Amino acid sequence: MMVQVLVRLVLYADQTISRGDSTGLGSGISQHRHGIDSTPILCESFYILLEYGRSAMFMWMFIEGMYLNNLISVDFFQGPPNYSAYYAIGWGIPVVMTGCWVVVMVVWKNADCWWGYSFTIYYWILEAPRFTVIGANLLFLLNIMRILLSKLREANSSEAQQIR
């Protein structure tokens, strides 16, 4: 989250300083780009970092959901957690996703600083896995709720009544 927030702050600050009028409705704003926009490699690098941060955030949400689901429902995972697998999923899969997206953007999107990249079909390279993670987390949540409710039904103590 910090990577994403920091990159957004830098981009917003640069836009505010270099453009002045952020609405684009000011009098006589020229088409010349200033700041980060004037250096395509730097601008694209910031957007790559932004999308990597977003993807990593979604993957870490997935890991949290998977960990909680496994903790509650699966006896197989009773040993200590495999942190190296968590790191590989949390940091590695976003590298692969973002790398694939970057290759496609470099080959097919020939615009200054990839303007409007989130409106292209190529953005689904990043968004489809993110939506999948949200769906998986919803399934984890439903499974956790199912297990907790079944355990509450089994217990007829006063504590269970209070929890209900």
Could you tell me the pTM of the whole model?
Answer: 0.78
Residue 7 predicted with pLDDT over 50: yes
For residues 61-79, average pLDDT: 83
Q: Give the pLDDT confidence score for residue 26 in this predicted structure.
A: 47
Average pLDDT over residues 67-78: 78
What phi and psi values does residue 72 have, to the nearest 5 degrees? Answer: -90, -35
Average pLDDT, the chain: 84
Domain boundaries, the chain: 2-20+33-163
Q: What is the mean pLDDT of residues 5-11?
A: 90
- Which pLDDT does position 28 carry in this prediction? 45
Per-residue confidence band for 135, with pLDDT thresholds at 50, 70 and 90: very high
pLDDT at 122: 92
Comparison of pLDDT for 103 and 76, the residue scoring more: 103
Provide the pLDDT for residue 53: 94
At residue 95, does pLDDT exceed 90? Answer: yes
Report the pLDDT value the prediction gives residue 153, as an integer from 0 to 100. Answer: 78
Q: When comparing pLDDT for 40 and 48, which is higher?
A: 48
Task: Quote the CATH superfamily of domain 2-20+33-163.
Answer: Rhodopsin 7-helix transmembrane proteins (1.20.1070.10)
Average pLDDT over residues 127-138: 97
pLDDT surpasses 60 at 24:
no
